[in-house]
Amino acid sequence: MPADNTVHIGVLLPDLLGTYGDRGNAAILAQRLRWRGQPAQVVEVPAGSPIPDSCDAYVLGGGEDVAEDEAVRALRESPFPRAVERGAVVLAICAGMHLLGRWRADRDGRRHEALGLLDLTTRPREQRATGEITTRPAHEHLGIDETLTGFENHGSATELGPSATPLARVVSGEGNGDGSEGVFTGQIVGTYLHGPVLARNPGLADYLLSRATGLALPPLPMAEVDELRRTTRELAQSGTSGMSRLRSLVTPSRWTQPGL
């Protein structure tokens, strides 16, 4: 971390990779640090702006195919790959995960080269995957034993290569398309879960923060979040009857201070 002890969280190309509000994940990371007395700063880097290589963590969100190709070009010519090589933590959602892979195929069969930072490839699905998804973490290294939930909305299927492993296993929903969900390297977490994913899965947020800071973070006592997660899981698994209530539950009206 920088000498001033502030944790810097970069939101990369939010104007290209901001279709589903995934930039909110950076705000969640920063807020969970501040609740623990740790200073944090969110650095938004729109297209055309210099991308810093000094952030402790980076967030890449979802976007459409054309935007994804433009993002690949911008990131390839930036210091971002060097930041990943030195160990910066990355949360990559949907298209953000695709562009870290080896290539993406479009519906005409053309391959679009990606950054090659992850051993995965992406192809179009026959039917779009849209709806609530529930998964179980596939790695004890995450240090969390909780269901990971989110909302998926993608027309792609992702195949992991031999050197890549999934983040989770699907309980309900589609994920990568083969029973797995996302990708996990320890340093990089890729997933199809929107929500934002870290608002719905605070354990995953704290894993990323611990990895970025090198600190063992004290728990945050938030009984209301635990109750919200329990209700969300139940409604997500109840089918369409619970969807309208679920949408209202996962849209917070305000931030609250833990314990107050």
Residue appearing with tokens 């944090």: 40
pLDDT for 221 equals 79
- Span 80-91, average pLDDT: 97
Q: What is the pLDDT of residues 49-67, one digit of tens each?
A: 999 999 999 999 999 999 9
Q: Over the chain, what is the mean pLDDT?
A: 89
2, part of any domain: no
- The pLDDT of residue 259 is above 50: no
pTM of the model: 0.88
Q: Is residue 215 part of a domain?
A: yes
Residues 6+ apart with CB under 8 A from 180: 138, 160, 166, 168, 169, 170
> Quick check: is 80 in a domain?
yes
Structural domain count of the chain: 1
Q: Are 204 and 189 in contact (CB under 8 A)?
A: yes
Instruction: List active site positions.
Output: 94, 194
Give the Cα separation of 13 and 124 in Å (integer). Answer: 23
**Residue range 221-257, pLDDT digits in tens:** 777 666 766 777 677 666 555 555 555 555 555 544 4
pLDDT at 140: 84
In DSSP terms, 260 is beta-bridged to: none
Question: What residues have CB less than 8 Å from 172, skipping those under 6 apart?
Answer: 132, 133, 134, 236, 237
The mean per-residue pLDDT over the stretch 125-145 comes to 90
Does the residue 244 lie in any domain? no
Residue among 117, 96, 118 nearest 196 (CA) = 96
Q: Please give the residue range of the domain that contains residue 113.
A: 7-221
Of residues 45 and 225, more confidently modeled: 45
Residue 258 within a domain = no
Q: How many CB atoms lie within 10 A of CB 164?
A: 21
166 occurs within a structural domain: yes
Specify if 253 maps to a domain: no
Reported as a single tens digit per residue, the pLDDT across 164-207 is 999 999 999 999 999 999 999 999 999 999 999 999 999 999 99
* 68 domain-assigned: yes
**CATH code for the domain of 206:** 3.40.50.880
